[in-house]
Amino acid sequence: MIDVATLADVRKRIEDACDRSGRTSPDEVQILAITKTFPAEAIEAAYSAGLTAIGENRVQEAADKFPQLPHLPQLKKRLVGHLQSNKAKKAVTLFDAIDSIDSLKLARNLDAKAADREERLEVLLQVNTASDPAKHGFDTDETDTFLEIVELENLDVKGLMTIGELTSEEAVIRKTFRKLREVKESLNEQLPAEKRVTELSMGMSGDFEIAVEEGATMVRLGTALFGARG
């Protein structure tokens, strides 16, 4: 399902991208294994290979899959797909982090659900850096909304997420990733030190090296690790 050589190649590509961009440590880039449509065994394989964070796209698929897993004490389960408000309660019970908050309404809903559980929920804010009407996410200039979400008591906003342009033009892809880094920097200028965001989740199997060069701290890899989906 995932072999040592494949993972070693991915890690080497991340290391090389860090070298090209002057980043000192490839260890600051986390590989998030995207296991959507793959069976529970793929999650076990990723965990056995040393990947302790996995991403799923759909709440119902996770609800079907997660009970099949053995006890994996360090596994962090992240929702990376669009979340409908009516599934927020279930998502909070299933996932350790929600990486796809794309509206103030959803943020407030998740804040309330986390409060009901008397816990803080780790989240990322999804930003539509490509201004693509087909994609979910905040506009890049919604700073006031970002600041409001950061102040919600039961959400722990760790950073931002975006999806690169689906194009073969590297300059276009790079621009969407660079823009997310700029949004993060602008946001942090308005936040006290203890609330500044650190994570940039950007880059998938076809463009993760560009994302790393532009500052990604988390890359979302599915086919690069597991092969083509059926």
Q: Does the structure show a pLDDT above 70 at 63?
A: yes
What is the set of domains in the chain, with CATH numbers? 4-226 (3.20.20.10)
Burial class (CB in 10 A: 0-12, 13-18, 19+), 74: exposed
CA pair distance 29, 31, nearest whole angstrom:
7
CA pair distance 5, 75, nearest whole angstrom:
22
Summarize the confidence of residues 117-134 as an average pLDDT. Answer: 95
State the pLDDT confidence band at 3, using cuts at 50, 70 and 90.
Answer: confident
Find residue 99's DSSP bridge partners: none
Q: Does the structure show a pLDDT above 90 at 30?
A: yes
Share of the chain above pLDDT 70, in %: 100
Q: Phi first, then psi: give them for residue 124, nearest 5 degrees.
A: -120, 150
Find residue 160's DSSP bridge partners: 125, 200
pLDDT of residue 153: 97
pLDDT of residue 166: 86
Average the pLDDT over each of 143-147, 152-156, 162-166 and give the range with the smallest value. 162-166
Summarize the confidence of residues 157-181 as an average pLDDT. Answer: 95
Share of the chain above pLDDT 90, in %: 91
Burial class (CB in 10 A: 0-12, 13-18, 19+), 104: middle
Mapping DSSP to helix (H, G, I), strand (E, B) and coil, where does residue 107 land? Answer: helix
Q: Phi first, then psi: give them for residue 14, nearest 5 degrees.
A: -65, -45
State the pLDDT confidence band at 229, using cuts at 50, 70 and 90.
Answer: confident
